[in-house]
Amino acid sequence: MTPNDIAKRIIFFLLLLIAFNITWNRLAPHYVLPNNSYSRIPKDSIMKAEESGRLLSYIAGKVSASVVSITAKGSGEMGTFFGETVEVMKESKGTGIIIDDEGLIATNAHIIAGCVEIRIKTADGREFDAVSSVIDTIYDVAIIKIQGESLTVCSIGKSDKLQQGEWILAIGNPMGLDHSVTFGIVSGIGRTDTLANGKTIDYIQTDAAINQGNSGGPLVNLDGEVVGMTTFIMSPTGGNSGVGFAIPIKRVMERIAKLSAALKDLPEDQLQ
């Protein structure tokens, strides 16, 4: 190859490089994202999203003050420990809702059924022993009485006004994580189940994450009102699968009215 041929090839590659550079500069603006990806999102949309986040945070803070964690202990099965037969205490954890300023707490009956020791912890860290309680195992509703002052009471909403697709929050103590908040929608209403007494109950279905320990906690609308009591989930694994159910608060309050009458007849130191 002569020096003349080498020079021609060098010139050819230089021209090719210049042509590529010109073409890239013309096409690049159509493919290169801006340095700040948020610049492609309208500012008013960002502001609306921030406002929605602040609203949810406000609701969670408002309602969480009336939510308590429950630890209940009772006699369980007999077991062997170092060759000795002993009674193993069972322990269950759940959530409750303060429904009046005299220390009345609503929760699920399956949390405290058969337990002889019930401990309540409020959002501000105070702890109380239950002085009395009454359960309704058929409707899975219970009330617990504590002696406390300056208790924050929840606001009760109208569960019969709920519509499918409404946004809601679930607040509870899953896996012992106090006052956890999850967000979702009302997936369905009127999910009917037949109870042991032959009567039916219509549950609220939600996709807000619900796990073990959430039972007895509030389902809350965007007005900061309790519209349901989370009760159980449908899951092949026992963990959240996006199919949770809550008792409508209207039905809960109906049962509580009857349980409250029974509670007044109990001695202060008698549980259940």
Residue 130 amino acid letter? A
164 and 215 part of one domain? yes
Q: Domain of 110?
A: 63-153
Q: What is the pLDDT of residue 272?
A: 45
Active-site residue, from 132, 133, 140, 159: 140
Q: What is the pLDDT of residue 128?
A: 96
Identify the CA nearest to 174 among candidates 141, 210, 149. 210
130 and 184 part of one domain? no
Tell whether 37 is covered by a domain: no
Q: What is the pLDDT of residue 271?
A: 42
Active-site residue, from 110, 136, 155, 241: 110
Q: What is the pLDDT of residue 6?
A: 63
Tell whether 116 is covered by a domain: yes
Tell whether 134 is covered by a domain: yes
111 and 167 part of one domain? no
Tell whether 31 is covered by a domain: no
**pLDDT, tens digit only, all 272 positions of the chain:** 666 666 666 666 666 676 666 665 555 554 444 555 545 667 676 667 778 888 889 999 999 999 999 999 986 654 544 455 555 567 889 999 999 999 999 999 999 998 889 999 999 999 999 999 999 988 999 999 999 899 999 999 999 999 999 999 999 999 889 899 999 999 999 888 877 667 778 999 999 999 889 999 999 999 999 999 999 888 767 666 778 899 999 999 999 999 988 777 655 444 44
Active site annotation includes 215: yes
Active-site residue, from 69, 92, 180, 215: 215
Tell whether 265 is covered by a domain: no
Q: What is the pLDDT of residue 27?
A: 52
Q: How far apart are CA 70 and CA 43, in angstroms?
A: 44
209 and 186 part of one domain? yes
Residue 230 has which token pair? 């989370």
Q: How far apart are CA 152 and CA 62, in angstroms?
A: 9
Q: What is the pLDDT of residue 16?
A: 67
149 and 166 part of one domain? no
**Domain count of the chain?**
2
Enter the pTM of the model.
0.75
List Cα–Cα distances, 155 to 29, 56, 60, 205, in angstroms: 54, 16, 13, 21
- What CATH number is given to the structural domain containing 124? 2.40.10.10
